Structures are given as C-alpha cells and as structure tokens.
Amino acid sequence: NIKGTIAFDSHGNVIESTGVGSTRIEDICELSRVALDAEGFAQVQGDSLLVHLYKRDDVTLAVYT
Amino acid sequence: VMLHSKNVKVFLENTLKPYDLHSVDFKTSSLQSSILLTATNGGIMSFATSNSDVPKNSINEINSVNNLKMMSLLVKDKWSEDENNTVEQPTNSCYPVEIESFKTKIYTYEMEDLHACVAQIPNSDLLLLFIAESTFPYGLLVIKIERAIRELSDLFGYRLG
Amino acid sequence: TNTFTALTTPDSTKISKEQLKRLHSRILDEISSQSQVDKPGPLT
C-alpha cells in the first residue's frame, strides 16, 4: 500500500524521502502544521492520497498510501 | 597539545560513509568531503574526500584541494557571521545542540549545488565541516555531524597555539 | 491553499498505528546505527 515516505525534523528539513514522497517535499510545510493526537498520530487526505503522520523525538514520518 | 594527524584523517575518512536504509528504500551517496578547519582563519587542519580515484598531485587533485580551501574559507566566514548574529531569530538552518553538557550549534548552508553542514567542536578553535551532494538531505546531514561531534570529545576545548 | 484535509475518522485499513510506529522506529534505529563513526584511536 505504501506509495512513498518522507521523514522530516522539527526544522522542516528532510531526513529521508522515498517514492512519491521524493516528489512531494513541499508537502512538509503543510504536514508540519497538521494537529496530531495525544499519541502523535494524524491522517490527512488530498491529491488522491492518504497521508499517515506519526511524530516522535522531533522526527515526523509521513507515509503516503 | 598536538593533534594525532593520522588518527584525525582516518576519523574524517570514516565520516564519509553513505547511508543505505532497508526499512525504507533509501540510500545516499558518500559525503563529498569531511574537513577539520580552524574557527580563527578557516585554514584546513585535516580533510578527507570520497573522490579517491583522483591521482595524487595531479592537476585535478590540486584543483580539488584549492576548491576545499575556498569552500572552507567561505563557510568559516558565514559561520562567524551567524555566530555573531546577536538577533536570535530562529532559522531552519541553525540547530542548537548540547553534547556532554557542552553547547554548540549546527548550521546548514547551500553552496552552489552542494549541501554543507558545519559545527564548532565545543569550546575549541576547530570546526567540523561536511560537504555533500544536493541529494543528501539536510536533516540527515545534521544527524550525521552531531554523532561525529560526539565522537570528537578528545578535541573538546582544543585551542590553537 | 491547503492540499490536504484532516480525516476525522481515522482509516487504519492501509497502515495501522502500530505499523507506523514500528516503521518510524526502524528508520531512526537504522539511521542511528549508520551514523556511528569508528574512532581509530586518540585524536590528540
């Protein structure tokens, strides 16, 4: 199911990106502002993609499905 | 105190290695260069480069060393400017870090089509500078240089002359 | 203009929270171990 990933830090700098994530680096600006739940999770959708977010230790992982 | 130049050079060579992740299909190239320079005048104390196929003392090697000298000077000047920048505006390219209760800052700079990352070795006259291709993510460079600085505790407090 | 809209009812059919957590840990653990620099001996 995974179409790509982006891991980014609290400064919005990329740590790794794969698949569709490598072509959507500019999403970081918007994804870094998404409100996360108490455990650090969130899900957003757009451009026919579902993005699963999880943040821990100042690193946010975005998985595109 | 003298630098153990051979061990320092081997250490810098060991920092060049690339990443090759398997949890996700992600890999990077090696660092292009890893340089130990002086925070006072940007002079190169030691360096390692990944283009080892350049023949010794060839015109290419001389050019690449001159390039490194130029880049080291440029980075040192930019670093001095940022360090003296009293207006503390948080920027995406400055990462304050604390290592063994010593504070230092990691800076990321774009240099033409290269990514540079520099940090002062805590309480010393030395800077560690990584130069990589633009495909090497800044966030990963920051993680890499912070771990390298942690291994350089022998050089914390190192003063020139 | 925003590209994304937040999902109020999470859809965990594609990837569960546990899987996401595990992938996050594995990525960071790999990066941490590959960031380790071998020290050849004393530097001074």
In chain A, which residues have their Cβ closer than 8 Å to the Cβ of C24? 7, 54, 56, 59, 61
Please tell me the distance from the alpha carbon of residue A59 to that of residue B117, in angstroms, as a whole number. Answer: 19
Q: Work out the mean pLDDT of chain A and round it to a whole number.
A: 96
Residues B16-38 have pLDDT tens digits of 999 999 999 999 999 999 999 99
- Structure confidence at residue B54 (pLDDT): 62
- The complex's ipTM? 0.94
Query: Which residues of chain C form beta strands (DSSP E)?
Result: 5-6
Look up the pTM and report it: 0.94
Strand partners, B135: none
Helix (H) or strand (E) holding B94: strand B94-99
Interface residue of B26, B89, B95 to substitute, partner A, most A CBs within 10 Å? B26
* Beta carbons within 8 Å of B21's beta carbon, 6+ residues apart: A16, B27, C27, C30, C31, C34
Cβ atoms of residues B72 and B81 within 8 Å: no
Tell me the chain C residues in contact with residue B20 when contact means C-beta distances shorter than 8 Å.
34
> Which of A11, A12, A18 is opposite residue B26, by nearest beta carbon?
A18
